[in-house]
Chains A and B, each alone.
Chain A
Amino acid sequence: MQLVEKIIKGERAAIAKAITLVESSRENDKNESRKLISELLNKPGKSIRVGFSGPPGVGKSTFIESFGRYLVEKNYKLGILAIDPSSQITGGSILGDKTRMIEISKNPNTFIRSTPSRGSLGGISAGTREASIILDAAGYDFIFIETVGVGQSETMATNLVDIFSLIVGPGSGDELQGIKKGITEYADIFIVNKNDGDLKSEASKTASDYKSAISYYKKSNDTADKEVLLVSAIEQTGMEKVIETIQNIVSQNKKNKNFDERRAKQLTYWIEEEVREIIQFNIQNKIKADGSISQLSQKVMDGKIQMFEAIEAITQNLQNK
């Protein structure tokens, strides 16, 4: 496949087209996408995939710009996938992340792709996982995934990334009570942003709130410690500590096999999901083709048969096809 070679060579347009393909909702594209991904999985790169989630406006994009600037100076190659919410009313979207990533988007060692979330409420969009495989094969050292909201932390951590970090703002410690369980379980790093100017003392307080919250979390012996870090994206402070922490977690998890296990679990989960999707798709097609549902439901309405009988008959019928 020519596309694969171009991706591995790092051709920008090919990578971009490939991401379009894996994000496509068109049925024809899905098989092609699966083929492409299968081939790319045979040629894995060395990327570390890091997720950044957090509520809108905490500074995720600004942080990625700032942290990214720090990393490209050290000659790392960065792939960035930013997922923006689509409007639930119109289905359209304004993808504005790049207005916060001005410097790094000029850098030849970055690839930045914004993606509308489409159905999935600002969380992970269809194709994010595949897109990260493409960037991995293309040779990016880090893949950053920006998503809105804390609700996705579980999916994000279990499906997609090697390290999951939650970005929060000063003063968000109060909301901690409600969401404690989910995040303490899934987040590897808590980044308290906007540690600057008037907000400094509030930011420190928030950091200690998070520290005490994660102390509840019973740590199993072999996982890396969760960390709470203070940064200012605007003043570009705290960045060394973030990369250090990421590298520590990676090396520790690699040592104790957690890293590979997590990826293996993700793969299993992914295959299962794909299978589910295919079956669901097939069934849907069968249902569309099969006229018996409306006939039988009419019979139910008319009181000729009972509902459960109708269900049984339809299921039988579909399974036999």
Chain B
Amino acid sequence: MSHSVIRAVNLTKKYDDFVAVDGISFEVARGESFGLLGPNGAGKSTTMKMIASVSTRTSGELTVLDLDPNVDGPAIRSQLGVVPQEDNLDGELRVRENLLTYGRFFGLSRAEAGKRADELLEFAQLSDRANSKVEPLSGGMKRRLTIARSLMNDPQMLLLDEPTTGLDPQARHILWDRLFRLKEQGTTLVLTTHYMDEAEQLSDRIVVVDKGQIMAEGSPAELIRTYSTREVLEVRYGSDKNVSVAALIADVGERQEVLPDRILIYSDNGEQDLAEITRRGHHPTTSLVRRSSLEDVFLRLTGRSLVE
């Protein structure tokens, strides 16, 4: 058995003439937690679907768990837990039945499926809704049920497409904790997210994708070191004045990004830059010095901010 659980070489997906994934190459090691980060339409979900062997690649190579998704979809999926971007729960069944039948799709015995369903209901904090219909559940509850469902087959690898979108902060933290524990037990995690904190918390390694291509790759810390400065100074002058002030302080810091609502100044010493700006008489309405984050890496690489 090779040491990578996913190996993609020049992986490409076209929808008619439109290239959704444009020749990306990456490897994911067993037990690793791997993040795909990118703006809307970057091709993250398409990549996830190809890994889950529910979308056929147009060209390039792809190996998942040493198998070819083109011919071994069922075998690959038997070892995967998939959380699609959109919850697609079975509205004709009740909450617990959703888990049970899903387990049965994998060929679990009734007893085994029942046992796991009860454990996972507990985990998703849905035990008291076990016999409720799916439709009246809140968005966050549905998300939790979808995540619970993905664990029914005790997967070797979890594919999570924006897992915590729609969850409240508490539920997110509980999920992160649970995912962290799965990772400790050796489960490989592949996730896409729009949340920087989520990417930093959960990923050992990240690739930043944009327009179907890989822009950068590395651990969160490496990416920040390579593509950003140590600190960031954020200053606001009001949306009508940001642009004009930015021109006057362009030489401060190493680099500048002008966003509609604020100016970001990248340097190794934000306080010193703030002092310089103030000395020149440009008093911001608010200011903030913070550490660089993946958000800054992202902005640098794609010219766009992640959460749109």
Asked if A and B bind, the verdict is no
- Residues of chain B touching chain A, judged by Cβ–Cβ distance below 8 Å, are none
- Residues of chain A touching chain B, judged by Cβ–Cβ distance below 8 Å, are none
